[in-house]
A and B are shown apart, each in its own frame.
Chain A
Amino acid sequence: MDRSQPAVVVEDLHRTFGTLKAVDGVSFSIDHGRVVGFVGANGAGKTTTMRIMATLDSPGSGRVCMGGHNVVHHPAKVRRLLGWMPDSFGTYEHMTVLEYLDFYARALGFKGADRLRRIQEVMDFTDLTPLADRMSNKMSKGQTQRLCLGRALLHDPQILILDEPAAGLDPKARVELKNLIRILAQEGKTILISSHILSELGEMCDSLLFIDKGRIVHHGDAESMVRGTETAGETLVNVQIAGEPAKLIEWALTAPLIKVEEETKRGARLRIQSTDDATLAGVLRRMIQDGLPVLDYHREERRLEDAFIDMLGQIDKNTFKSPPPGGLPPKITEDAK
């Protein structure tokens, strides 16, 4: 794979189904070894974009390159670099887990002992070894997801596209899958994951791409997303003290750079006119020096879901205008983290 170019390049991608614009000018690029979350409501264009990236659909217009290869011109080369885990997939009747992986290993060109060794490695990694003789269509959702991930990893792809991998999984299976993805990320694979469970994406991903109505509406890391207020140069801090909250309010009214947002049962929410960590720590130090019995002092963060919904609302309100075609696409690099 050509590492001088980004692992993924999507330029001004369009795809329509009849009159529906499923993807409407999407542009982004992802550097090697990044883990990127792809976020959007149902029908936003995530799966269509991912399917085009995986050579399973054709772009209406625009350019998509994976590992330096155009998905339309060189689908076979792209497929060798790519592991794809679709949002919904079936397994086969009358076929055990071992036979299922054996079939795909054969289909990927593995032969003889190499094939068995690779199957063993994948089964060990996905913890499917105890299920080797289980019929592949008689497994739980979590086990099936692991089987599908195992299939996607058989040829050791450098780029992984995972479409809703955690959908429908119970908490235990979700944690297991998250751990597997974390290990793959540590191995340096480029991973694009779409999911509705944004908090999990926030934990796993270096950065997030938000898509709405077929357009990329935001990109950045989860931290900046959840601290939406900090973009205005302010930080909301939740403070609890022992004793009367009035003491805290009184102190806050006299302190510089601090406004009282609201009084709470055991303290107050304060708006501090800084996002700098040192300034926030200084405020806490002054509170203690001034004799306030502080029990809890923490930066208030929105849930990622709330941030996403707020952002979509904001976009609707401001009649968001997407960057013009040919404008600077979001580039997800080492610095973006």
Chain B
Amino acid sequence: MNASFAITDFPDRLSPMVVKELRQGLRTRLFGGMLLTLHIMLVLLTLMSGGAENANVVSGWFDGIVTLVLCIIMPLRGFSAVADELKSGTLDMLALTRLSAGRIIFGKWAAIASQSLLLMLSILPYVVARFVFGGLDLFGEIAALFYKWLAGVVIAAVIVALSTQRQFWLRAVVVFLPLMMTGCGAFSLIIMSRMGGGMSSGRVFTFFTKSGGASSLLVVVALAAWAIFFFLSLAATRIAPTASLLSVIKRSVHLVMILSLLLLGWLTGAGADMGMIAAGVLALLMTDALTERVNEVPSVYAAFYQRGWPGRIALWLLAPGWVTGLVYSALMVSLVVVYVGWTRSVEEAKLVFVSAAGIWMIAALVQLFSTRKSRDLLPPFVICWLFVNVVIATLGRLLVIPLGRLLVMPLSTKGATAGFTWALPQLLPVGYASANAGDKAYLLNLGVLAACIWPALLLIVAVFAWRHARGARQEGWRMIHGKKGGTAV
């Protein structure tokens, strides 16, 4: 039969998901309307930029509008990307194709990223025009535009990951509170800096790139790429079949990332900065590892057993589920703590451990208080994290603002301050910073001891959870070894 149809708008080599999203995305009124509005505004601003007296005001508006579009509006297009598919049942149909969960999620994000890129490229002529008319630093402006796009696509990855959550309110809370506060803050900052002559775009650019040793473009791009991978893989895990082994890829990449950061710090002499960045990376990867449901699919374990003793060791670190996630997170924390202790100081290493214990604490609370029926641990983790951090932030404020000092100081003699902060890992750094120099060591040691409770508690729960999945492991063992050989671990 000869095909009478011709549908050749996108080549075969493009991912089907990207093709679908682009076909849909480019036809939406939002994209067309936004493109048109953006260009009308940029034309007007470019025409206005001729006058030297209002150059800063125009620049402020130019940067503000571009930031708004690239870092807020475009990423927000992914707000319901997966949730809509879940609700309409189309995700089931996608799952039955050859598209893996990772490719589905990547396609969603890539469509937003490529539309943002399209917008960014369409903005470039205005930057050049402003350089011609206003004599701006062309490369600085182009770099700033690139960083805005990069920030936008990282935010888009976060939002696509959140869109795997069906509940609108939870997505809204997680997106709109921190993201809007940060986004609007940055938007205002950029406009104000341009208008008031406070912070120039060059200084904003410097802020992004010049933080100690992490000054290279490569590090920023690598960190952004890792962040995108982190959030997209997190999203993929949430829609993947239970038999999938995404955790192996994810945790391997995270391990490589941590090791690369530490190695880079050692090679460049920027160990302290890299240690701090690694600590940030650690918080994210721990969240992922500790919110995976314990897997009870025998073939998952069989995949490890068939690789002999290296597979059995890898199982403890890389098998899906929060129990192995706990072992993995302990290894990662140990790496970073040792590194920070070696390159900076023991005190800072202890603080990194206490920060990690904050994540373990939330994971332990989720395990202890979330319902056994809940198959998805991430939403209770996020809710718990938000709750704990709001409470901690409020309590922390009491230590640093004058009114708080009035309320707390009567109690915060040497022992009382320690009593107020050592018990909670999230609060300890604040207490440590505000404590008298003589009390710091005592407070920190007490805090470290208290922080050990949470991984220990989590370990006890993990033992029970691991035993619960023993049947699946034994079945996995039998799948590979039959009735011969030893027993499953």
Contacts and interface: CB of A to CB of B under 8 A. Distances in A.
Given A82-B96, A108-B98, A120-B4, A90 B12 contact: no
Contacts of B397: none
B218 interface: no
A141 to B, nearest CB: 15
A98 B96 contact: no
A217 to B, nearest CB: 27
A116 interface: yes
A115 to B, nearest CB: 8
A52 to B, nearest CB: 12
A99 B96 contact: no
A89 B297 contact: no
Contact of B3 (A82, A91, A113): A113
B341 to A, nearest CB: 44
Contacts of A70: 299
A117 B1 contact: yes
Given A55-B241, A90-B89, A95 B23 contact: yes
B3 A106 contact: no
B7 A116 contact: yes
Given A94-B27, A106-B16, A107-B17, A18 B373 contact: yes
A56 B91 CA distance: 10
A104 B97 contact: yes
Nearest to B302: A73
A107 B98 contact: yes
Interface string B94-112: 1111110000000000000
B96 A92 contact: no
Interface in B73-97: 87-90, 92-97
B299 A73 contact: yes
Contacts of B87: 90
Contacts of B2: 117
B307 interface: no
A202 interface: no
Interface residues of B, number: 37
B64 interface: no
B297 A103 contact: no
Given A82-B96, A89-B90, A103 B3 contact: no
Contacts of A107: 16-17, 94, 97-99
Interface string A83-114: 01010111111110011001110111101110
A72 interface: yes
Contacts of B12: 106, 111-112, 115
B243 A94 contact: no
Contacts of B90: 89-92
Nearest to B17: A107
Contacts of A113: 3
A54 interface: yes
A98 B23 CA distance: 12
A199 B108 CA distance: 43
Interface string A122-156: 00100000001000000000000000000100000
A95 B20 contact: yes
B190 to A, nearest CB: 33
Contacts of A106: 12, 16, 19
Contact of A120 (B3, B17, B297): B3
Nearest to B92: A56
Contacts of B474: none
A73 B298 contact: yes
A92 B24 contact: yes
A18 B371 CA distance: 10
Which residue, A54, A58, A112, has most C-beta atoms of chain B within 10 A?
A: A58
Nearest to B476: A73
B309 interface: no
Interface in A280-294: none
A55 B98 CA distance: 13
A89 B91 CA distance: 9
Interface in A45-76: 51, 54-56, 58, 70, 72-76
Interface size class of A (residues with CB under 8 A): 35 or more
Given A55-B96, A75-B243, A112-B12, A92 B20 contact: yes
B242 interface: yes
Contacts of A99: 7, 23
A71 to B, nearest CB: 9
A72 B297 contact: yes
A93 B97 contact: no
Contacts of B169: none
Which residue, B16, B96, B243, has most C-beta atoms of chain A within 10 A?
A: B96
A102 B16 CA distance: 9
A119 interface: yes
B297 A116 contact: no
A121 interface: yes
A113 B12 CA distance: 11
Contact of A109 (B5, B28, B98): B98
Given A86-B89, A109-B98, A94 B3 contact: no
Contacts of B298: 72-73
A54 B89 contact: no
A115 B94 CA distance: 17
A120 B1 contact: yes
Nearest to B374: A18
Contact of B7 (A73, A98, A124, A151): A98
A331 interface: no
B96 A58 contact: no
B415 to A, nearest CB: 48
Interface string B1-39: 111111100001000110110011001100000000000
A46 to B, nearest CB: 16
B20 A108 contact: no
Which residue, B1, B5, B241, B299, has most C-beta atoms of chain A within 10 A?
A: B5
Contacts of A18: 373
A115 B28 CA distance: 26
30 contacts: A54-B92, A70-B299, A72-B243, A72-B298, A79-B96, A79-B97, A82-B96, A84-B92, A84-B96, A86-B92, A89-B89, A89-B92, A89-B93, A90-B89, A92-B20, A95-B20, A98-B5, A102-B7, A103-B16, A103-B20, A106-B12, A106-B16, A106-B19, A109-B98, A116-B3, A116-B5, A116-B6, A119-B5, A120-B4, A151-B93
Given A75-B243, A95-B20, 11 more contacts: A18-B373, A90-B89, A92-B90, A94-B24, A103-B20, A104-B97, A106-B16, A116-B5, A120-B4, A120-B5, A124-B1
Interface of B: 1-7, 12, 16-17, 19-20, 23-24, 27-28, 87-90, 92-99, 241-243, 297-299, 302, 373, 479
> Which 10 A-B pairs give the minimum distances between C-beta atoms?
A90-B88, A116-B3, A106-B16, A107-B97, A73-B299, A94-B27, A107-B16, A89-B89, A94-B24, A103-B20
